[in-house]
Structure 1
Amino acid sequence: MKELFFKDIQTISTLLQKKEISSIELTNQLLKRIEELEPTLNAYITVLKEEALEQAVLMDKELAEGNIRSSLHGVPIAIKDIFETESSVTTSGSKVFEHFIAERDAKVIEQLKAAGAIIIGKTNLHEFAMGATTENPHYGSTRNPWNIKKIPGGSSGGSAVAVAAGTAFGAVGTDTGGSIRLPAALCGIVGLKPTYNLVHTDGCTPLSWTLDHIGPMTRTVADSRMMLRIMADPENVNLIDLDAEMTDLHGVRIGVCEEYFFENMNLEMKNVVDAAMLRLKELGAEIVAIKLQDLKEAIEAQKMISKSEAYTFHEENFAKTPELYGKDTAYRLSLGHSIPATEYIRARNTRKRFIRHVLEKMAQKGLDVLFTPTNTTPPFDIGSIPPEESLNNIFTLGKTPLGNLLGFPVISVPCGFTEEKMPVGFQLIGKPYDDGKILNIAEVYENSTNWVSYLEKNTAYKTENITL
């Protein structure tokens, strides 16, 4: 059974539908693995053992009757503990919401349950999703399974680790500045930030209404496609094409902007990303140099919008109980307090101009996607960056925030390792509602490598090696 922990969702779904394994067996095995690994990895805040087993019984009954809801029917997945779940606590990684029990499921969780997914647990995160490391002062730091001294990235670090370590077959995260894509890259999995508003955010604790996205975190690109099909808002899903497929990349034009995206990049990691770019070219893609204007102004606008909107949401609680917030979260919120409305409006206008500019540049060059590194600096040791310096971690570890300012679909795909065997990823940024296209390009690349099979066999993921 152990080898199933690292199988993709498609394989697990087939085994379930052929009745070669039951959802109850699968769920029990994952619960046992969670129990074994959690003392070290700390990927979960809450394990929903009873609820998961109850749902597994129902899914097996329906399978026996020939009722298959979707490809996620009976498959255990994890969700970031920032989504409301009926009758269970949703902490958002904070003591502020330590006892908050929702009366309903978040919209996306409702859709996943309706599709037959087993919610096995709620994963650890950076407090209120306000950080890139998942060093949580209230629920403990989550550890990277490739090197447990290192951060897994954040804020969806627990979700990334659950998938990477084989304690969930897929997971759901949120992404406001790179919180899906950065931990996906640091943990060696696929992370998808869909087009803005493609996945409904109702029932998800907000960080920034303008920048928040929800998306899947999986072992394979195909699994991300499968989960997105289920997670997408039914009113918006017809705006994307998830059915078209590619066998090669002939005719695909990929833009590369050296400025900002490749600046100050670790040389070893740059070599890995450059090799991935060369592979895309070998698969038929045309690589086109592109220059984008006002990148620094765009980054500042992203920061301004995020800080302002975060403070707005937390203003009342932060005024009443500031002592319940962690040091780095409190520091971030204090910065948002002093931003005048004029600066916020100016940042919003900068965002609009930047979106128009990028779309115009892509049209002028006939580009399908943009290519960038995801992570540009290796993950640092847990506890090595003090709270007052942590604000810029998302900007120093990777090149993800502009994807949120744009609201375009972005996928992070694993592409290799550093000499210390830490994963490296690259991003593909598509135009609005071209989610299917970036998935196609990423899948052609993934299918040309042995990455997925390597992850399945690599001993860094095995239980005996994930110990303190």
Structure 2
Amino acid sequence: MSRSVRDKLEANLARIGDGAPVFTKLLLDTARAEADAADRRREAGLQLSAIDGTIVSVKDLLDVKGVTTWAGSSVLKGATAAAQDAPSVARLRRAGAVIIGKTNMTEFAFSGIGLNTTFGTPGSAVDKARIPGGSSSGAAVSVAEGSSELTVGTDTGGSCRIPAAFNGITGMKPTHKTVPDEGCFPLAPSLDSIGPLAKDVAGCARLLSVLADRPFDLAEGLSPARIRLGVARGGFLAEAAPSVAKAYEAAIERVTRLGIAVEPVDLDGLWQEMLAICPVPLVTVEAAAVHRDLLESKAETYDRRVAARIAIGVPCKATDYIIAMERRRALIGRLAAQLDGLDGFLAPTVPIEAPTIAAMEADDEAFFAANRLILRNPAFGNLFDLCSISLPMPLGDKLSGGLMLSAVAGRDQQLLNIAKLIEPAAAG
């Protein structure tokens, strides 16, 4: 006999204590009320959605009514509580989710490492001495450790997919604006996407259906023989750890054995053109605009590494940004044309193993070098507005990486279907 939702919730709460540093805030009263309501519906034979009674957490970028949105930063700590739920959070409530709490993250979502100087850094669920990945650090750890069954993250340069890879779970960046971003503290509005993290593809599909308010039902009996995938190497494998390169090639071989056609795809030229569209990275320009007033009044309270990256975008001229966005649109179209005839392409989610927390805390040079590598592959998907998902890809020695499947904008349903098909091949 299955446990009640309330029993399941109480067991999770007993295990995680005050929740720190995975959570910035546990929503004890409302979660218990939601669990009791879910149990009453079960007794009455009612179900609001496929996630009714599921324990879900949300990244602390999203507004939850009556709770301060800290965005992982002491800059906002103590600010006025949110007056209403973000649309994505409201959809979770209508679907009958039990929202256990708000998860920790990189300050203002601006790093792929996952360190947090205000709320502490949660160690990876795979190895507590290693970084969780960012910026949705607590989100991924909460699912990997089982305190949440599903979790909502955001992805501006890989922030759902990176921590998913390092924690051995699945994380998805949907096509931009698939999930409404109102009530979510922005990093770079043209690149931000709200997305799901779960143990598997099916969990991501269930959660995305609620967040997007439209069904993403996984297909049955999908024929591998009808699928063609590109295989990215080149720059996506530059500076790769041997364990990642080996696991990636082995995963490709297993995908081929499923009967899926694979072929090399060279994306390096377009990638270099995209990186050259603006004198500084687009994410820094948009972040500088978002943070202009806060940086003027509270610069000393920022994490110095986050402030340093935001500052890169400050000198950018409006004309440079406008031209860059025009060039970006053209490059997105050119990539779509190059990928015509393919159902998507594969790449490693991250090219290196998760570094240790101690190493990242101790040395700025090491931090920024690792951050560049960790963000490089998944950020391709944000700049080119792809939909993209990271599947768990074991690296040996109990470490985890990710096999990333990406497709052109709007093909989220097809992406999920193919991801479900190749999920066993990624895991070995």
What are the superposed Cα offsets for residues 353-373 of structure 1, whole Å, 9 maximum, x if unpaired? 22111111111xx11101110
Tell me whether 1:324 sits opposite 2:306 in the alignment.
Answer: no
How far residue 448 of structure 1 moved from its aligned partner, in angstroms, is 5.6
How far residue 388 of structure 1 moved from its aligned partner, in angstroms, is 6.5
What are the superposed Cα offsets for residues 243-298 of structure 1, whole Å, 9 maximum, x if unpaired? 53344411211112322112221122111111111111111111111223231231
Tell me whether 1:157 sits opposite 2:134 in the alignment.
Answer: no
Tell me whether 1:279 sits opposite 2:254 in the alignment.
Answer: yes
Q: Which residue pairs with 2:16 in the alignment?
A: 34
Tell me whether 1:417 sits opposite 2:395 in the alignment.
Answer: yes
Q: Which residue pairs with 1:350 in the alignment?
A: 327
* Alignment match of 1:195 (pick from 165, 172, 175): 175
Q: Contact (CA 8 Å) 1:146, 1:422: kept in 2 or not?
A: yes
Q: Which residue pairs with 2:359 in the alignment?
A: 384
SS at match of 2:197: strand
Q: Contact (CA 8 Å) 1:304, 1:344: kept in 2 or not?
A: no
SS at match of 1:191: strand
* Alignment match of 1:244 (pick from 219, 234, 238): 219
SS at match of 1:200: coil
Q: Structure 1 20/268 Cα, relative in aligned 2: closer, same or farther at 3 Å?
A: closer
What are the superposed Cα offsets for residues 313-332 of structure 1, whole Å, 9 maximum, x if unpaired? 11011101111111111111
How far residue 413 of structure 1 moved from its aligned partner, in angstroms, is 0.3
SS at match of 1:428: strand
Q: 1: distance between equivalents of 2:366 and 2:108?
A: 18
The percent of aligned pairs where both chains have the same amino acid is 31
Q: 1: distance between equivalents of 2:296 and 2:365?
A: 20
Q: 1: distance between equivalents of 2:127 and 2:426?
A: 23
Q: Structure 1 309/160 Cα, relative in aligned 2: closer, same or farther at 3 Å?
A: same
Unpaired segments of 5 or more residues in structure 2? none
Q: Contact (CA 8 Å) 1:150, 1:382: kept in 2 or not?
A: yes
SS at match of 1:59: helix
Q: Which residue pairs with 1:402 in the alignment?
A: 380
Q: 1: distance between equivalents of 2:273 and 2:358?
A: 31
What are the superposed Cα offsets for residues 14-64 of structure 1, whole Å, 9 maximum, x if unpaired? xxxxx722111011011111118x56xx21111111221111112212222
How far residue 346 of structure 1 moved from its aligned partner, in angstroms, is 3.0
Q: Which residue pairs with 2:239 in the alignment?
A: 264
Tell me whether 1:230 sits opposite 2:210 in the alignment.
Answer: yes
How far residue 223 of structure 1 moved from its aligned partner, in angstroms, is 0.8
How far residue 391 of structure 1 moved from its aligned partner, in angstroms, is 4.6
Q: 2: distance between equivalents of 1:278 and 1:332?
A: 39
Instruction: Name the aligned partner's letter for residue 56 of structure 2.
Output: I
Instruction: Name the aligned partner's letter for residue 62 of structure 1.
Output: R
How far residue 301 of structure 1 moved from its aligned partner, in angstroms, is 4.5
Q: 2: distance between equivalents of 1:207 and 1:304?
A: 13
Tell me whether 1:52 sits opposite 2:31 in the alignment.
Answer: yes
Tell me whether 1:96 sits opposite 2:75 in the alignment.
Answer: yes
Q: Which residue pairs with 1:369 in the alignment?
A: 344
Q: Contact (CA 8 Å) 1:249, 1:280: kept in 2 or not?
A: no
Instruction: Name the aligned partner's letter for residue 220 of structure 2.
Output: E
Instruction: Name the aligned partner's letter for residue 182 of structure 1.
Output: I
Q: 1: distance between equivalents of 2:320 and 2:425?
A: 47
Q: Contact (CA 8 Å) 2:38, 2:53: kept in 1 or not?
A: yes
Q: 2: distance between equivalents of 1:387 and 1:123?
A: 25
* Alignment match of 2:101 (pick from 115, 118, 121): 121
Q: Structure 1 265/388 Cα, relative in aligned 2: closer, same or farther at 3 Å?
A: closer
Q: 2: distance between equivalents of 1:151 and 1:447?
A: 25
How far residue 338 of structure 1 moved from its aligned partner, in angstroms, is 1.3
Q: 1: distance between equivalents of 2:172 and 2:83?
A: 29
Alignment size in residue pairs = 422
Task: Please identify, of 206-215 and 436-445, the stretch whose mean Cα deviation from structure 2 is larger.
Answer: 436-445
Instruction: Name the aligned partner's letter for residue 109 of structure 2.
Output: A
SS at match of 2:209: helix
Q: Structure 1 352/24 Cα, relative in aligned 2: closer, same or farther at 3 Å?
A: same
Q: 2: distance between equivalents of 1:301 and 1:294?
A: 11
Q: Which residue pairs with 2:120 in the alignment?
A: 140
Instruction: Name the aligned partner's letter for residue 232 of structure 2.
Output: C
Q: 1: distance between equivalents of 2:276 and 2:296?
A: 26
Q: Structure 1 296/108 Cα, relative in aligned 2: closer, same or farther at 3 Å?
A: same
Q: Structure 1 246/411 Cα, relative in aligned 2: closer, same or farther at 3 Å?
A: farther
Q: Which residue pairs with 1:255 in the alignment?
A: 230
Q: 1: distance between equivalents of 2:177 and 2:314?
A: 27
Q: Which residue pairs with 2:57 in the alignment?
A: 78
Tell me whether 1:295 sits opposite 2:288 in the alignment.
Answer: no
Q: 1: distance between equivalents of 2:386 and 2:156?
A: 12
Q: Contact (CA 8 Å) 2:255, 2:425: kept in 1 or not?
A: no
Q: Contact (CA 8 Å) 1:177, 1:394: kept in 2 or not?
A: no
Q: Structure 1 247/448 Cα, relative in aligned 2: closer, same or farther at 3 Å?
A: farther
Q: Contact (CA 8 Å) 1:45, 1:124: kept in 2 or not?
A: yes
Q: 2: distance between equivalents of 1:137 and 1:110?
A: 30
Q: 1: distance between equivalents of 2:407 and 2:29?
A: 40
Q: Contact (CA 8 Å) 1:210, 1:305: kept in 2 or not?
A: no
SS at match of 2:262: strand
Instruction: Name the aligned partner's letter for residue 285 of structure 1.
Output: I
Q: 1: distance between equivalents of 2:358 and 2:425?
A: 38
How far residue 67 of structure 1 moved from its aligned partner, in angstroms, is 2.2
Q: 1: distance between equivalents of 2:270 and 2:158?
A: 20
Task: Please identify, of 434-443 and 369-378, the stretch whose mean Cα deviation from structure 2 is larger.
Answer: 434-443
Cα-Cα RMSD: 1.9
How far residue 439 of structure 1 moved from its aligned partner, in angstroms, is 1.1
